[in-house]
Structure 1
Amino acid sequence: MCELRAANPMRIQPTRSGRDGTFAAVSPYRRAEPATGDLATRVTSYVVLTLDPAVPDVAADYWMHSERFYRAVADPIGARLGGDLAYRRLVAHPTDVEAERALAARVADLFAEDPALAEELAARADVADDNVYINYFRGPDYALGARTADVERLTSLAAGTPVRPDGRGDEVLVVVPISDRDGAGRIRNLMACLLALRDQTMPASDYRVTVVEFDEKPRWRDRIEPLADHYLHVTGHGLFNKSWTVNAGVRHTLGAARTLCLLDADILVDRDFLRRNHARFAEHGHDAHLPHTEMLSLDAQSSDRLIEDRCGGRRPEVPLAGARGLLLRDVPGACLWLTPELFAEVGGLDERYRGWGGEDEDMLYRVATAGTAVQFDDVFVHLAHRRPAMRREDGAPFNAHVPVGTWNGAQGYGDLERVTGTDD
């Protein structure tokens, strides 16, 4: 597990606590739970977590922390049912829901034959539930056959959106960074994100959306501009520099906005997202907050289905009943709300970070040190895309060399021409 996250020096204040004093992930407007129910289904979900290659890929440090808890539940099943056809089917196809259900039925039979094993694995599953940082989620309505939500489908949906009204948008500025040089899914996700941001209970004249594209050229400008209030391009080469990209958006389009929302391009938000989070500042009197405790990282099928439901069907929420994916706990990234004053005080995100990982935790650490930071318990929905490399070729994390918490923006930040504080 990440050293910063394990030590928890960030002093992020939860808004409610669970039975043991830890944060309880209960959303005020919806709830996501792992694939619970009968014990056999719970245990089988831990088998899936040990087999599915998407689990270590979604968050390597979360996997390293959680793996031993998964295996404490799953390995006894492998030892007893490893030669069973249902188990072998799931090993060969870890995302096959029918294979998962077949194994759950065999596990139920095993528990009926061996109640002592059932009792032991129930206790281990309880321990795992309280300790793992990636759990498994499958809604009761999950099924194959969703309509493909590709760029062309999103473009057709965008054509039917109303024209944005004139307005200063002085309540909220949303900044969304994007880099998709090979059409790996992020531009599709961004378009869904922007469509959801246009369908909000907050009056359209009260907020603005800025998209900043990091690329050698303005590759997706024609797709983005119709859905955003501001489009910026920063000429970026090599590994994605999310920090510089976000900083440029804030610095050059802030205007008179009273609050900032820094939002990843792969998040599909509900209709009340902006109003709810903007109101939280007045309700709680803090300087910054994470809106979420859990993030549901969807599989490809669920991503298509939920985009169609939210953007095509204009559902007010993102319906989780038809979703399948990995439920990540205490994610420090994806979205941060804060005041422009605090953003300026800490000098924005640290522009020395390149490639995957670290910049969000670094920012959260500095923000919570300089101001009051709160964590709420919404469930975020993350759309599928091809995963980026998470480590260098030698196995080292991309940003292990960056001293955490040392950036202050003293040399400036968000320069459109070049990254600040480096030799670029």
Structure 2
Amino acid sequence: MNEHHTPPSAADRDRPAKISVLIPAYNACATLEACLLSLTHQRLRRPFSFEVLVVDDGSDDGTGTMVDSFTSRLDLRYAYEPRTPASGRARARNIGLAMATGSLVVTLDADQVVGPDFLAHHLRAHGAATDLLVVGRRCQLGEGKFDLARLAHGFSLDALPEVVRGDEREPVFAALSCQLTHMRTAWHYLWTCNASVRPERLAASGGFDERFRGWGLEDAELGYRLVRDGVRMRYSARAAVYHEHRSPVSASMYREWRENLGHFAHKHPDPAVRLQEMFAPAIDPAAPAAEAWVDTAVRFEHAARALESAPHPAPHH
């Protein structure tokens, strides 16, 4: 019996036919295995396909051996980069971008799991557009381990720790009565644990800035450049990831965030960039209890709008 395939529609022919999934990893063998297992269950109609690019940032926990076990189940390439002072998520993602052959790039982190229609939802959100940056929902998981045996047979929420929180950005959208597309500070909410964009847009923007080291803001700064260059941002609640339980921000992470904010503000002398300083009390583990992060995010947006509407001084002659 000949298998019958429905020919692609005109709209499908305009969409990216291949997706490149970029995953940086550093000593995250167990969670990366869960992530890769979830990717083996993706449902994409022909002519669409995907490749997975894992960039190992100097792991010594057996990540390479584990990734090798997936080469028969995924179109997968693995790059190992020795750990150096220049190592970091920005550099790892640039290495992955240079390896990509797809016409849509989806960025993931190694500590999350995705449902079977995750890539299809990213693809659908872009449609035939070439100027979109799509960010997807991030659901936070409670403490516990992934059930790898169950995930090997198919995606199930029962194989994951309990979902304890939805995406923190959604209450911000609700409080502002708008979506990400209409926010002056939309670029701040590019979280590359779940985002997609055309590779030519990434290349035109210069890719990730590898001078960002440690934790925080390398993705927001990329978002800033993409938006400045005319890319439109869109939020997709359906393109969801399930994120491993996170420990609170540590003192060292906070120091890295502050250093990265200084680099960000020096590189882009836009007052709206400096306004991110407002988040410091909510992030600093040594600070007394401050207002909720959502309330700070709403103030941040209103302050950025005020800057945009303020009259500009007349030029001197």
TM-score range, shorter chain: 0.5 to 0.7
Counterpart contact for 2:125–2:236, Cα < 8 Å:
no
For 1:399, the equivalent position in structure 2 comes to 260
Counterpart contact for 1:259–1:340, Cα < 8 Å:
yes
**TM-score, structure 2 normalization:** 0.62
- Identity within the alignment, %: 19
Change (3 A) 1:179 1:395: closer
For 2:215, the equivalent position in structure 1 comes to 356
2:51 maps to 1:208: yes
Looking at structure 2, the residues matched to 322 and 218 of structure 1 have their Cα atoms a distance apart, in angstroms, of 23
**One-letter code of the match for 1:399?**
N
Counterpart contact for 1:299–1:384, Cα < 8 Å:
yes
SS at structure 2 position matched to 1:289: strand
2:200 maps to 1:341: yes
Looking at structure 1, the residues matched to 122 and 266 of structure 2 have their Cα atoms a distance apart, in angstroms, of 26
Counterpart contact for 1:356–1:388, Cα < 8 Å:
no
Looking at structure 2, the residues matched to 191 and 200 of structure 1 have their Cα atoms a distance apart, in angstroms, of 15
For 1:49, the equivalent position in structure 2 comes to none
SS at structure 2 position matched to 1:360: helix
Query: Number of residue pairs matched?
Result: 226
Deviation at 1:220, TM superposition (A): 1.9
Looking at structure 2, the residues matched to 360 and 373 of structure 1 have their Cα atoms a distance apart, in angstroms, of 13
2:15 maps to 1:171: no
Change (3 A) 1:325 1:392: closer
Find the partner of 2:241 among 365, 373, 380: 380
Counterpart contact for 2:88–2:214, Cα < 8 Å:
yes
**TM-score, structure 1 normalization:** 0.47
Kindly provide the CA deviation profile for residues 265-305 of structure 1, in whole angstroms up to 9, marking residues without a partner as x.
1121000111221132226664221122xx2221222x435
Kindly provide the CA deviation profile for residues 68-125 of structure 1, in whole angstroms up to 9, marking residues without a partner as x.
xxxxxxxxxxxxxxxxxxxxxxxxxxxxxxxxxxxxxxxxxxxxxxxxxxxxxxxxxx
Looking at structure 2, the residues matched to 337 and 326 of structure 1 have their Cα atoms a distance apart, in angstroms, of 23
The equivalences for 1:47-86 within 5 A come to none
**One-letter code of the match for 1:191?**
E
2:117 maps to 1:272: yes
For 1:314, the equivalent position in structure 2 comes to 154
2:88 maps to 1:241: yes
Deviation at 1:383, TM superposition (A): 1.5
Name the Cα RMSD after superposition: 3.2
2:190 maps to 1:332: yes
- Give unmatched runs, 5+ long, in structure 2: 1-15, 170-188, 269-317
Deviation at 1:249, TM superposition (A): 0.8
For 2:178, the equivalent position in structure 1 comes to none
2:103 maps to 1:232: no
For 1:30, the equivalent position in structure 2 comes to none
**One-letter code of the match for 2:115?**
D
Kindly provide the CA deviation profile for residues 115-160 of structure 1, in whole angstroms up to 9, marking residues without a partner as x.
xxxxxxxxxxxxxxxxxxxxxxxxxxxxxxxxxxxxxxxxxxxxxx
Greater Rg over alpha carbons, structure: 1
Change (3 A) 1:259 1:401: same
Find the partner of 2:100 among 254, 267, 287: 254
For 2:30, the equivalent position in structure 1 comes to 188
Find the partner of 2:63 among 197, 214, 220: 220
Looking at structure 1, the residues matched to 43 and 159 of structure 2 have their Cα atoms a distance apart, in angstroms, of 20
SS at structure 2 position matched to 1:297: strand
Change (3 A) 1:389 1:343: same
For 1:133, the equivalent position in structure 2 comes to none
Kindly provide the CA deviation profile for residues 189-218 of structure 1, in whole angstroms up to 9, marking residues without a partner as x.
111111111111116972110000111769
Kindly provide the CA deviation profile for residues 383-424 of structure 1, in whole angstroms up to 9, marking residues without a partner as x.
2366674636869734233125949xxxxxxxxxxxxxxxxx
- Give unmatched runs, 5+ long, in structure 1: 1-168, 181-185, 408-424
Deviation at 1:234, TM superposition (A): 1.6
Looking at structure 2, the residues matched to 328 and 351 of structure 1 have their Cα atoms a distance apart, in angstroms, of 27
Looking at structure 1, the residues matched to 49 and 265 of structure 2 have their Cα atoms a distance apart, in angstroms, of 35
Counterpart contact for 1:390–1:398, Cα < 8 Å:
no
SS at structure 2 position matched to 1:349: coil
SS at structure 1 position matched to 2:106: strand
Looking at structure 1, the residues matched to 159 and 68 of structure 2 have their Cα atoms a distance apart, in angstroms, of 30
Deviation at 1:235, TM superposition (A): 2.0
Looking at structure 2, the residues matched to 238 and 218 of structure 1 have their Cα atoms a distance apart, in angstroms, of 19
Looking at structure 2, the residues matched to 201 and 285 of structure 1 have their Cα atoms a distance apart, in angstroms, of 23
SS at structure 1 position matched to 2:260: coil
Find the partner of 2:108 among 263, 270, 280: 263
